[in-house]
Structure 1
Amino acid sequence: MNAAPALVGYTAAVGFAAPRLLLRSGWPHRAPALAAAVWHALALSFSIGAALSAYSLAMPAEHLHAGLMGLLHTCGLNVGTGQPDPDTADRLAVGVPAAVGIALVASLTFHVVRARRARTQHREAVDLVGRHSSRMCATVLPYDVPAAYCLPGRHPRVVISDAAVRKLTPEQLGAVLEHEQAHIAGRHHLVLAAMEAFHSVFRWVPLARHAREQTALLLEMIADDRALRRHSDDVLATAMYEMAAARTPKGALAASGHTVLIRLKRVLGPRTAPHPALWGSVAAMAAMVPLLPLLVACPPGLG
């Protein structure tokens, strides 16, 4: 039996229907780390499903001639009476899924290298213009707008403007620095690079667009939660408000940005963790979702 129809249907559901369900859910902002894992699991599942769908459509199957031709015949479309070339089908069955994998790896490499190059250039400029503060473990730049961001990587930097040092209280400054350190410790730049790579290859799929946008927001929330471990809600919210207008260099991660309003409402509003049963079931689903295309392609008990 050819699994192409089931695989295509599953992949379409993950790429088009799953993002809508996740966006309508209320729990992701209460558990941003788990939500980010779910978005990545969906992206991985879609990629595997797309590759297996291409393989099944190209691979000859008994009673269905060849995957794609057989699928069309099954749907009642007569596309020719000749037998498909097995060699051509074999080449397509291997080549198309390989092309999907190569495209994803190449895109990830491109985004990682490009972001690293931009951070390296900016880091060199920051080291020339700014002054290092051992007390804050950050580089202070002469800039008249309150701003703070980090340059992750092998030689990370937390950069803060002297306007922020002057305007923010010590508690607010500590919350901002804690936020930036969370980005560095969590290697959030690699998480974003993976989503950028997925979006570059499947930019026409709603999942790719929403996964990239939501992952960036969720990573900021994760960093906010780390800052809130040592600082109060009001302290972090005030610091975010003061730096809301700051711009972030390419390749950097910052406490400010266009998501500040959403994060401010979250920080100042009631925050309750998801019920352990919900947390456990969602975590189990995130672990299982990447394996589902394999189960669809090779259901247990079928020879």
Structure 2
Amino acid sequence: MTAALALLGYALLVGVLAPLPLARARWTHRAPRLAVALWQGLTLSFVTALVLAAHHLAVPGVHLHLGLAGLMHLCGVDHPGGLLATGPGQAWRLLLPAAAAAWPLGRYAAVLVRTARHRRRHRTLLDLVAARDPRLGAHVLDHDTPAAYCLPGRRARIVLTRGALDLLTPQQLAAVLAHERAHVAGRHHLARTAADALAAAFPFLPLARLAARETPLLLEMAADDRAVRRHPRTVLAAAMYRVAGGPVPQSAFAAGGTAALLRVRRLLAPAAAPHPALRAAAALTAAAAPVLPLLFTCGPVVP
């Protein structure tokens, strides 16, 4: 019971208190990829703590113990008194930890399937109404409104409207294409799906709500950063301004979008990168957070 209470307290800390300073931090817009990794690390840490708490509630007698041995012994599962020793008649004890793990994983799978279905339908429609331009590596829609977006996934599509082609200069067009390719190459849709799934599984949890709000913007900024490696910031900013108002499917990544003004300001007035010590601390936290519940609460059963 002590271990379960400790894990629930840790989950409360990660799910309620830790996201608040991260959402208000100023450095995240200067290192968006690192910030996304930190949001994902907190998410995995919360889910791990929740599942382990359920395990300790289902199997009394696994005491709080500090050590790496818990990693090797599945947090008491293969110890005397663990789940494997309960016998066929006690298999019901598996239900609580299994449900704690299945709920967020099931929501992730559901969101992944739903968004994949939407993208598949949109790809089918694009193949019918859009013309592929091999030179651009994109599909062109015959529409006057300037817009640019990508449908990520295994069969990714980069989409431009005829209005965008008429409005953008060659340099601006190249910058927009680089931005959209960055989304595809970085598999940004997986991080966005994880954030959306956590929000669907725990809609009232601050971690879930804030991660779902911050992750899409951070991914757009990460794509901007990759695009400006080869293209001037002013060129990408001007292109974003010109396509900001174009319609975009819900499951797509857009070069413009509602946060375009914030991103344009960020491009035109770039801030210094976070201090190396801060970057190191954030990276260490992102890597360590998922295993902290194991390191601090799992170990051999104390007789």
TM-score interval for Structure 1 and Structure 2 normalised by the shorter chain: 0.7 to 0.9
Distance in 1, matches of 2:23 and 2:233, equals 25
- Give the superposition deviation at 1:301: 11
> What TM-score results when the alignment is normalised by the length of structure 2?
0.86
Deviation digits for residues 38-70 of structure 1 (CA, Å, limit 9, x no counterpart): 00000000001111222333433499xxxxxxx
- 1:55 paired residue number: 55
- Does the 8 Å contact 2:62/2:302 carry over to 1? no
> Is 1:264 the counterpart of 2:264 in the alignment?
yes
Cross-structure match for 1:273: 273
8 Å CA contact 2:61, 2:301 repeated in 1: no
Task: Name the counterpart of 1:177.
Answer: 177
Q: CA deviation at 1:164?
A: 0.4
Cα deviation, residue 299, structure 1: 6.6
Determine the structure 2 residue equivalent to 1:38. 38
Q: 1:192 maps to what in 2? A: 192
Q: Shift of the alpha carbon at 1:302?
A: 6.9
Secondary structure of the structure 2 residue equivalent to 1:231: coil
- Report the 3-state secondary structure (helix = DSSP H, G, I; strand = E; otherwise coil) of the residue aligned with 2:158: strand
- Residue correspondence of structure 1 range 24-103 to structure 2 within 5 A: 24-61=24-61, 93-103=93-103
Cα shift at 1:184: 0.7
User: Aligned-pair RMSD on alpha carbons?
Assistant: 2.3
- After TM superposition, the structure 1 stretch with the greater mean CA deviation from structure 2, 271-280 or 141-150, is 271-280
Query: Relative contact order, CA 8 A, sep 6+: which one is greater?
Result: 2
Question: Which consecutive unaligned segments of at least 5 residues does structure 1 have?
Answer: 64-85
The separation in 2 between residues aligned to 1:257 and 1:109, in whole angstroms, is 27
- Quote the residue 1:128 is aligned against: 128
Matched residues in 1 for 2:204 and 2:296: separation? Answer: 24
Which residue does the alignment assign to 2:251?
Answer: 251
Amino acid at match of 1:185: A
Structure 1 residue 2: Cα displacement: 2.3
Match of 1:73 in 2: none
Q: How does 1:160-175 map to 2 (within 5 A)?
A: 160-175=160-175
What is the aligned length? 280
Further displaced range: 114-123 or 9-18: 114-123
Output the CA distance in 2 between the equivalents of 1:19 and 1:220: 20
Read off the aligned partner of 1:294 and give its amino acid letter.
L
2:116 is matched with 116
Opposite residue 179 of structure 1, the aligned amino acid is H
Correspondence 1:222 to 2:222: yes
Deviations 1:183-228 (A, max 9, x none): 1111111221122222211111010011111111111011101111
Deviation at 1:91, TM superposition (A): 5.7
